[in-house]
């Protein structure tokens, strides 16, 4: 089919435009300075931008080192707090068992419960459940209640666990968390046969011994709980010190990694808390 004059004009015009564009592309991309610049811009590697400012890293190095050391110390102190908390929980469990035994003995004395071999067996079973608690209470491989497992690299023979807190040059190196020896022999001497009160007075003696052991457990539980709270507070204080040093690092940088808004928001959240739980 023959083309009309208008169609012929369209074909010629399009071919001319394509030819002109091809000439321009060849001129730009074959040896010309413009072509070289375009190729470098499109295909060339971008200049390497350093991720850190060497000067900033140098002048803030000591601050960052101190911050990291204090933050590690805070983690160690928090670990010690957990250790004391585990001991407090275990001692509280033992106290609860002794109180159950005391309840049985007191009911027999009051006459609301009649002594029998079954009652004595139940009493002794409660007593025997204390030993696994003492022997099986560990924190990171350290037996915190069982003196027979002391005398290792982790815990001394007198129940001391050394906690590395700060470097020696920064404040002394560390401290000891001390655990108390349990009266395992005294606890093992409790006997359901004494509830029969034969000879007379043996029931009251058993009650007196139970009262003494319960008092000892209550004291130990309080000691460990207070130690846990104190160490937790100390760990929080150390983390706050590390936060302040981190802020000092940002303040001394010539090229801050945080914007002023981010620094202010972090300061605000440190005092007021956040909606995001960053610990879990």
pLDDT tens per residue, the chain (280 residues)?
566 777 777 777 877 777 666 666 665 555 556 555 655 655 555 555 555 556 556 656 777 788 888 889 999 999 999 999 999 999 999 999 999 999 999 999 999 999 999 999 999 999 999 999 999 999 999 999 999 999 999 999 999 999 987 655 555 578 899 999 999 999 999 999 999 999 999 999 999 999 999 999 999 999 999 999 999 999 999 988 888 888 777 766 665 555 555 666 666 665 555 555 555 4
Question: What are the distances in angstroms from CA 192 to CA 24, 124, 132, 195?
Answer: 107, 6, 19, 6
CA 265, distance to chain mean position in Å, is 24
Tell me the CATH number of domain 60-141+187-240, given options 3.40.228.10, 1.10.10.10, 3.30.700.30, 1.20.1330.10.
1.20.1330.10
* Domain segments of the chain as ranges: 60-141+187-240
For residue 48, the 8-state DSSP code is P
Q: Structure tokens of 237? A: 């204080």
Q: Structure tokens of 131? A: 């030993």
Q: Rounded to two decimals, what is the model's pTM?
A: 0.69
Q: Where are the alpha helices (DSSP H) in 44-142?
A: 54-59, 61-110, 117-128, 130-135
Per-residue pLDDT at 39: 55
For residue 122, the 8-state DSSP code is H
CA atoms within 13 A on the CB side of 230: 8
């Amino acid at each position: 089919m023959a083309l009309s004059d208008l169609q012929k004009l369209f074909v010629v015009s399009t071919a001319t435009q394509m030819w002109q564009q091809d000439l321009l592309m060849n001129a730009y991309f074959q040896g010309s300075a413009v072509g070289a610049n375009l190729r470098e811009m499109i295909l060339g590697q971008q200049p390497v931008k350093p991720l850190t400012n060497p000067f900033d890293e140098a002048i803030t190095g000591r601050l960052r080192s101190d911050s990291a050391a204090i933050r590690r110390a805070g983690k160690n102190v928090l670990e010690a707090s957990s250790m004391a908390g585990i001991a407090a929980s275990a001692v509280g469990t033992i106290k609860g068992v002794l109180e159950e035994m005391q309840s049985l003995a007191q009911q027999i004395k009051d006459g609301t419960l009649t002594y029998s071999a079954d009652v004595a067996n139940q009493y002794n079973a409660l007593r025997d459940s204390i030993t696994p608690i003492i022997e099986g209470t560990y924190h990171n491989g350290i037996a915190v209640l069982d003196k027979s497992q002391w005398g290792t690299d982790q815990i001394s023979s007198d129940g001391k666990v050394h906690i590395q807190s700060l470097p020696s040059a920064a404040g002394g190196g560390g401290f000891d968390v001390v655990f108390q020896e349990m009266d395992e022999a005294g606890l093992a001497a409790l006997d359901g046969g004494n509830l029969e009160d034969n000879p007379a007075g043996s029931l009251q003696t058993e009650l007196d011994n139970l009262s003494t052991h319960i008092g000892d457990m209550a004291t130990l539980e309080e000691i460990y709980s207070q130690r846990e709270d104190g160490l937790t507070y100390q760990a929080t204080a150390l983390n706050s010190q590390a936060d302040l040093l981190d802020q000092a690092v940002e303040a001394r940088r010539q090229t801050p990694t945080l914007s002023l808004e981010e620094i202010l928001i972090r300061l605000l959240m440190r005092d007021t808390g956040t909606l995001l739980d960053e610990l879990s």
